[in-house]
Amino acid sequence: MTNKEGRKSKLRSLKWKLLFSLAVFTVVVLVVVWVFQILLLGRFYESAKLRELDRAADDLSESLTDPRADLGVEAAVYAEEYQMYVRIFCHEFGAMEEIAAAHLTGDYYIRNISSENIDRLYSMAKAEKNGTYAERRTVKPWMPDGDEGTVVTADEKKEIVFVRIVHSGGSEYVVMLNMIYTPLNATVSTLNNQFVWICGIVIFGTLIFAAILSKTIVEPITRVNAQAKKLGEGNFDIELEKDMGYLEITELSETLDYAASELSRTENLRRELMANISHDLRTPLTMISGYGEVMRDIPGENTPENIQVIIDESTHLSELVSDLLDLSKIQSGNVRYSFDVFDLTAAVGQAMDRYKKFKVHEGYSIEFLSSEHVNVKADRVRMLQVVYNLINNAINYSGDVKEIRVEQTLRNGCVRIAVSDRGEGIAPENLPDIWDRYYKVDRVHRRATVGTGLGLSIVKGILEGHNARYGVESALGYGSTFWFELPVEENKETE
Ligand code: ADP
């Protein structure tokens, strides 16, 4: 198994991940609901009752310290409001004397409590740090004859006996409260039954929801994936769907569509380039072998002119091959530039010498305008390659007006070299593409008059390798100006 396959087999599909996440989420929600709504319901209810008792005990304790308060009335109010049995004792000289009470009918524990049990509760409260003691009890029906009964039923009532010791004015008081409540057992068992149903419905709903979600989300992704696979197999002409129902997936599809059209364009250009290159390579080879055969077979043809043709074609061939190698090196980023400070003006001036024979033989006027000598820090050989390529293009596309001008200007610490011709120009819609790999405005290939015809891609690669600004201004019928800029280098040594 390859690494990739191993990694892939560990990945879960989006569909299962979605289902798994939703299942986990549902279970967590159900457990939380069960814990709070069912398991802890009784405890919450009981602690709410305890809080009520605590508050009542607080208020009654305050009344004990307030000489104006009528304890009997206060006790009656609490008994009425919270349905609790209230008894307040004063503890003096080891004896308990009841000073206020609010009686309710019912089986309250403290209603008929024995004095031993009062003492017991008192000592329990005394033992607590805050003087408060709460006792939970099961209500046993009180029988006058003392038989406390033994029947226990599901709705057996519960009660809380709440005792608080209060100190006020040098005396010790005991506030005793008693509340009866019905435990929530019946409610909890009803809720438990309901919960089983809720679980069933929620789990069923989750499964349906997950199925719908996975259908609506996963399906378009699967479709895009299938189309992307076709793209990977080299089928660049596929039409990717434009509306996938979701913004992100539609964007992904559009990006793939763009990639497909770019790949298809590059592929076409590559094929075209191969055809052009083969043509360009074959032409000089045919010339060389043709002239060679003529010179071998026809005695009087061994002339210096014919030999010159062979030499020129060989030179052209080797230039073409070296340009091809150059382009592939530049485009793969394998070029090492040797940055040196040199006199750019002088270098361009020397380069102009190469075009002298065009001036003479073919009627071209190629002039170089510069006001002063300027140094730059760049790769001298590569910069001259840029200049040659631009001039070659100017010659190739100058048409009938054979005027070419190379101009050097200075601006904002930068030197600009601009190569202008008055030829056919370039249509605005083609301007952005001319620097592209393999691009030609004129789709019908023609052999370059000078140079190899891979010019602008090499120019772009070299100038970008120097972080130089570059560009072109052109108008159809008026000609073109190709330019680039480099920072001026102030070098004292070369001056
Ligand atoms: P080639 O010259 O072999 O086509 P280039 O990369 O040098 O390759 O140029 C790309 C295209 O840009 C050319 O096909 C041509 O259409 C256009 N072009 C370049 N220079 C000029 C120019 N000076 N005038 C008009 N068109 C030009």
Q: What does the pLDDT profile of the chain (495 residues) look like in tens digits? A: 556 566 666 666 777 888 888 889 999 999 999 998 888 888 898 899 999 999 999 988 888 888 788 888 888 988 888 889 999 999 988 888 999 899 888 888 998 899 899 999 999 999 999 899 999 888 876 555 555 544 445 457 889 999 999 988 888 999 999 999 888 877 888 888 889 999 999 989 988 888 888 888 888 888 888 888 888 888 887 777 777 778 888 888 888 888 888 888 888 877 877 877 787 788 889 989 999 999 999 888 889 998 998 998 899 888 778 878 887 888 777 788 889 999 999 999 988 887 876 676 778 888 999 989 999 999 998 899 899 889 988 988 888 888 899 999 999 899 999 999 998 898 888 888 888 755 666 555 555 555 555 788 889 989 999 999 999 999 988 999 999 999 998 855 544
One domain, residues 349 and 430: yes
In degrees, rounded to 5, the angle at the alpha carbon of residue 219 between the alpha carbons of residues 215 and 221 is: 135
| Nearest Cα residue to 283 out of 306, 260, 312 | 312
Residues 6+ apart with CB under 8 A from 142: 107, 111, 112, 148
Alpha-carbon distance of 85 to 82, in angstroms, equals 9
Ligand 1 site-directed mutation target among 276, 280, 323, 397, most atoms within 8 Å of CB: 397
pTM more than 0.75: no
Q: How far is the CA of 471 from the centre of ligand 1 (A)?
A: 13
Q: How far is the CA of 439 from the centre of ligand 1 (A)?
A: 9
One domain, residues 405 and 471: yes
Alpha-carbon distance of 128 to 131, in angstroms, equals 5
Q: How far is the CA of 66 from the centre of ligand 1 (A)?
A: 107
pLDDT at 43: 86
Say how many Å lie between the first and final Cα of the chain, rounded: 67
Do residues 37 and 188 lie in contact, with contact meaning Cβ atoms separated by under 8 Å?
no
Alpha-carbon distance of 56 to 99, in angstroms, equals 17
Nearest residue (CA) to ligand 1, atom 23? 394
| Nearest Cα residue to 408 out of 468, 488, 491, 494 | 488
Do residues 463 and 386 lie in contact, with contact meaning Cβ atoms separated by under 8 Å?
yes
One domain, residues 323 and 397: no
Q: Provide the 8-state DSSP code for 99.
A: E
Alpha-carbon distance of 111 to 101, in angstroms, equals 10
Q: How far is the CA of 441 from the centre of ligand 1 (A)?
A: 7
Q: How far is the CA of 483 from the centre of ligand 1 (A)?
A: 14
Q: How far is the CA of 313 from the centre of ligand 1 (A)?
A: 22
If one counts the domains in the chain, the total is: 2
Nearest residue (CA) to ligand 1, atom 16? 441
Nearest residue (CA) to ligand 1, atom 3? 453
Ligand 1 site-directed mutation target among 279, 426, 483, most atoms within 8 Å of CB: 426
The 10 Å Cβ neighbour count of residue 455 is 23
pLDDT at 5: 60
Nearest residue (CA) to ligand 1, atom 14? 440
Residues 6+ apart with CB under 8 A from 409: 371, 415, 416, 418
pLDDT at 236: 80
pLDDT at 149: 47
Which of 308, 328, 348 terminates a domain? The answer is 328
Q: Label the pairing between strands 469-475 and 340-343.
A: unpaired
User: What's the CATH number where 267 sits?
Assistant: 1.10.287.130
**HSE-CB for 155 with a 13 A CA cutoff:** 3
| Nearest Cα residue to 291 out of 279, 314, 309 | 309
Q: How far is the CA of 411 from the centre of ligand 1 (A)?
A: 27
pLDDT at 330: 80
Nearest residue (CA) to ligand 1, atom 1? 453
pLDDT at 6: 60
Nearest residue (CA) to ligand 1, atom 25? 425
Burial 430-451 (b: 16+ CB within 10 A, else e): ebeebbeebbbeeeeeeebebb
Calculate the dihedral angle through the C-alpha atoms of 333, 335, 337, 343, rounding to the nearest 10 degrees.
-110
Burial 172-192 (b: 16+ CB within 10 A, else e): ebbbbbbbbbebbeeebeebe
pLDDT at 361: 72
Do residues 426 and 474 lie in contact, with contact meaning Cβ atoms separated by under 8 Å?
yes
One domain, residues 414 and 478: yes
- Type of residue at 284: P
User: What's the CATH number where 414 sits?
Assistant: 3.30.565.10
One domain, residues 377 and 314: no
Do residues 256 and 249 lie in contact, with contact meaning Cβ atoms separated by under 8 Å?
no
Phi, psi of 177 (to 5 degrees): -120, 150
Q: How far is the CA of 16 from the centre of ligand 1 (A)?
A: 55
One domain, residues 376 and 461: yes
One domain, residues 361 and 321: no
One domain, residues 292 and 341: no
Is residue 20 included in any domain, yes or no?
no
pLDDT at 146: 52
One domain, residues 375 and 427: yes
Three-state DSSP at 168 gives strand
One domain, residues 303 and 281: yes
pLDDT at 369: 92
Pocket of ligand 1 (CB under 6 A): 393-394, 396-397, 421, 423-424, 426, 434, 439-442, 448, 453, 455-457, 480
pLDDT at 214: 81
One domain, residues 378 and 272: no
User: Domain range for residue 372?
Assistant: 336-487
pLDDT at 431: 86
Is residue 39 included in any domain, yes or no?
no
Q: Label the pairing between strands 403-411 and 365-369.
A: parallel
Which of 328, 363, 393 terminates a domain? The answer is 328
Do residues 445 and 279 lie in contact, with contact meaning Cβ atoms separated by under 8 Å?
yes
Tokens of 205: 């709903």
Is residue 185 included in any domain, yes or no?
no
Alpha-carbon distance of 194 to 30, in angstroms, equals 12
pLDDT at 485: 96
One domain, residues 458 and 428: yes
